[in-house]
Amino acid sequence: MFQPQDDFNQDQSQNAQNNSSDPNLDNIDANISAESVAVRKKQLESIFIKLIVFGLAVGAVLGIGAYYLLHKFGMTKKPDQLEQEKIIEQREQNPANPVQKIHDFPASDTDDYRFRL
């Protein structure tokens, strides 16, 4: 029938064959002293702490940069504040835009020609 590609039994048999060919793999744990384990652990802890500090520093720089860019492009303001600023800018650019006055008034009602047929 169908044989899956990830056959667990086949993988174990291949690993067992590989282990039997190398006698040093069985004695790896016996050659490690407690002092070397402690030194390695401290090295890993220092690397981990350095990575955390580096990540926090990069994150702070990126955060400050994003904050600066958002303020520079005005993306932190409310929409109504933006509309008010646009209106003020338009008024400053066109200060001589008075309301048009009507100078031509219609003829007065006293004229008789409107009542004639």
Both tokens of 81, joined, read: 């504040």
Note whether residue 46 is domain-resident. yes
Integer angstrom CA distances of residue 27 from 5, 19, 21, 23, 30: 32, 11, 13, 7, 5
Query: What is the pLDDT confidence band of residue 102, given thresholds at 50, 70 and 90?
Result: low
Residue type, 108: S
Q: Considering the domain boundaries, does residue 31 fall inside one?
A: no
Residue 28 lies in a domain: no
Q: Report angle CA 54, 56, 60 to the nearest 5 degrees.
A: 120
What is the pLDDT of the chain when averaged over all its residues? Answer: 76
Reported as a pLDDT band with limits 50, 70 and 90, residue 89 is confident
Quickly list H helices, the chain.
8-21, 34-72, 79-93
* pLDDT of 56: 98
Domain count, the chain: 1
Q: Is residue 43 part of a domain?
A: yes
Residues 2-57 have pLDDT tens digits of: 666 666 656 555 555 555 556 665 556 556 788 888 999 999 999 999 999 999 99
Structure confidence at residue 106 as a pLDDT band (50, 70, 90) = low
What is the rounded CA–CA span in Å between residue 54 and residue 51? 5
